[in-house]
């Protein structure tokens, strides 16, 4: 005989209202004329009032078990979860919404860590950024082939060998897709202080990258390819 496998039901706390506690509470009382357990007696009304509070406590316990014990859903205990995992991160002072804080908490809890470009691109994608990291290799006599600088090291079309100082191997160019253009506004800008045009580069992520990157690596933001497109005033309110 074949048996079909079924997904077991989710373990959910049974929420009991105050009325459930009222009946159980009255049933445990002594019997007799001094203990009127019917109608609108003072004993029954007093019991209902007391047990409504127990029903409230039961509901709050269910909230803790079903929601606050899950870091993906917690709201009331979110500050306690964050404190336990060293949050808020100093690189992300703007992570103020519940969704942003949940994302940072889950990243901090599940992050295994690595030092490859793919790892940092994955972290950026988790935080809502789409980036490309490019690294360089200097042309080396005895290793590189003259006239063969078109050999590719990945699928991006970047050259494997570059003419330049050997220190270029320690540099990472970070290109962020969809960088915001921030134009000077007469109503809010300050002449002589604010630039005519600024790039909305994700400084929070660069701060995080500076902490986690390999110690010998130098981060260089890449602004090539950024343009207004068809609208020369793109990014203005």
pLDDT of residue 114: 86
**Coil, strand or helix: which one is 220?**
strand
> Which pLDDT tens digits describe the chain residue by residue (237 residues)?
444 444 445 556 778 888 888 888 888 888 888 888 877 788 888 888 888 888 888 888 888 888 898 999 999 999 999 999 988 888 877 777 898 889 889 888 988 888 888 899 988 888 778 888 888 888 777 777 666 555 555 555 555 667 777 788 888 888 888 777 777 887 777 887 888 777 777 788 888 888 888 888 998 888 776 665 555 555 555
What is the spatial distance between Cα 206 and Cα 213, in angstroms, rounded to a whole number? 10
Q: Give the pLDDT confidence score for residue 1 in this predicted structure.
A: 41
Query: How confident is the model at residue 149, as a pLDDT?
Result: 53
Q: What is the pTM (predicted TM-score) of this model?
A: 0.56
Phi-psi domain of 142 (left: phi exceeds 0; alpha: psi -120 through 50; beta: other) = left
Kindly report the backbone phi and psi dihedral angles of residue 159, in degrees, each rounded to the nearest multiple of 5, phi listed first.
-70, 145
By three-state DSSP, how is residue 89 classified?
coil
Nearest Cα neighbor of 124 from 39, 13, 209, 54 is 209
Return the closest-CA partner of residue 89 out of 64, 66, 75, 108. Answer: 108
pLDDT at 228: 57
Q: Where are the domains of the chain?
A: 18-68, 80-111, 114-237
The pLDDT value recorded for residue 237 is 55
Reported residue count of the chain is 237
Q: What are phi and psi of 47, to 5 degrees?
A: -65, -40
β-partners of residue 176 are: 131
List b or e across 111-126, with b for residues whose CB sees 16 or more CB atoms inside 10 angstroms. Answer: eeeeeebeebbebbee
In the block, which residue shows the tokens 């970070």? 174
């Amino acid at each position: 005989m074949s048996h079909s496998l079924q997904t077991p039901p989710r373990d959910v706390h049974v929420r009991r209202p105050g009325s459930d506690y009222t009946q159980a509470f009255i049933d445990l009382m002594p019997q007799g004329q001094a203990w009127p357990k019917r109608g609108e007696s003072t004993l029954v009304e007093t019991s209902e009032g007391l047990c409504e509070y127990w029903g409230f406590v039961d509901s709050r316990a269910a909230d803790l078990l079903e929601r606050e014990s899950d870091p993906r859903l917690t709201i009331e205990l979110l500050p306690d979860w964050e404190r336990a995992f060293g949050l808020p991160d100093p690189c992300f002072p703007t992570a103020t919404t519940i969704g942003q804080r949940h994302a940072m908490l889950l990243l901090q809890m599940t992050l295994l860590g690595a030092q490859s470009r793919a790892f940092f691109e994955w972290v950026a994608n988790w935080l809502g950024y789409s980036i490309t990291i490019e690294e360089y290799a200097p042309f080396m006599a005895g290793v590189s082939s003259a006239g063969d600088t078109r050999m590719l090291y990945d699928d991006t079309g970047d050259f494997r060998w570059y003419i330049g100082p050997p220190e270029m191997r320690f540099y990472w160019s970070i290109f962020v897709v969809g960088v915001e253009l921030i134009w000077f506004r007469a109503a809010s800008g300050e002449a002589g202080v604010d630039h005519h045009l600024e790039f909305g580069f994700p400084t929070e992520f660069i701060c995080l990258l500076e902490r986690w990157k390999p110690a010998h690596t130098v981060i260089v933001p890449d602004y090539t390819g950024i343009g207004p497109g068809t609208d020369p005033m793109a990014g203005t309110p």
